[in-house]
């Protein structure tokens, strides 16, 4: 006897890593890259400069630039979705 509900999809169906379709998937990828590079920067910032203030300034500026990039990307995606939704509702 199977306890599986008819029509339900398995989360592990298929090969490889899959992500549900979302308009924000590209932003998630950007965030992953920014966090990875930020982690690497955190590891090597002591070799870049010995001054603690410059290390802090380097990490702070990278964090602020990364934040600004993500905010900009999210605003673009949300604006695009709003335009598409408005066009879709006007055409119906």
Residues 6+ positions from 66 with CB-CB distance below 8 Å: 34, 38
15 DSSP assignment: S
The percent of residues above 70 in pLDDT, for the chain, comes to: 82
Q: Residue 1 domain-assigned? A: no
Domain total of the chain: 1
Q: Are 27 and 74 in contact (CB under 8 A)?
A: yes
Please, how many CA atoms are within 13 Å of residue 91, restricted to the half-sphere of its CB?
6
What is the tens place of the pLDDT at every residue in 33-69? 999 999 999 999 888 888 899 999 999 999 999 999 9
3-state secondary structure of 28: helix
Host domain of residue 32? 25-91
Residue 20 covered by a domain: no
pTM score above 0.75: no
Strand stretches in the chain, DSSP E: none
Predicted pLDDT at 49: 86
Task: Establish if 4 belongs to a structural domain.
Answer: no
């Amino acid at each position: 006897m199977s306890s599986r509900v008819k029509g339900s999809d398995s989360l592990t169906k298929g090969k490889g890593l899959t992500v549900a379709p979302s308009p924000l998937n590209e932003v998630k990828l950007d965030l992953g890259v920014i966090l990875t590079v930020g982690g690497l920067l955190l590891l090597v910032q002591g070799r870049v400069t010995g001054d603690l203030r410059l290390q802090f300034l380097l990490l702070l500026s990278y964090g602020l630039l990364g934040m600004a990039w993500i905010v900009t990307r999210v605003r673009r995606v949300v604006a695009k979705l709003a335009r598409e939704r408005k066009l879709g509702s006007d055409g119906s």
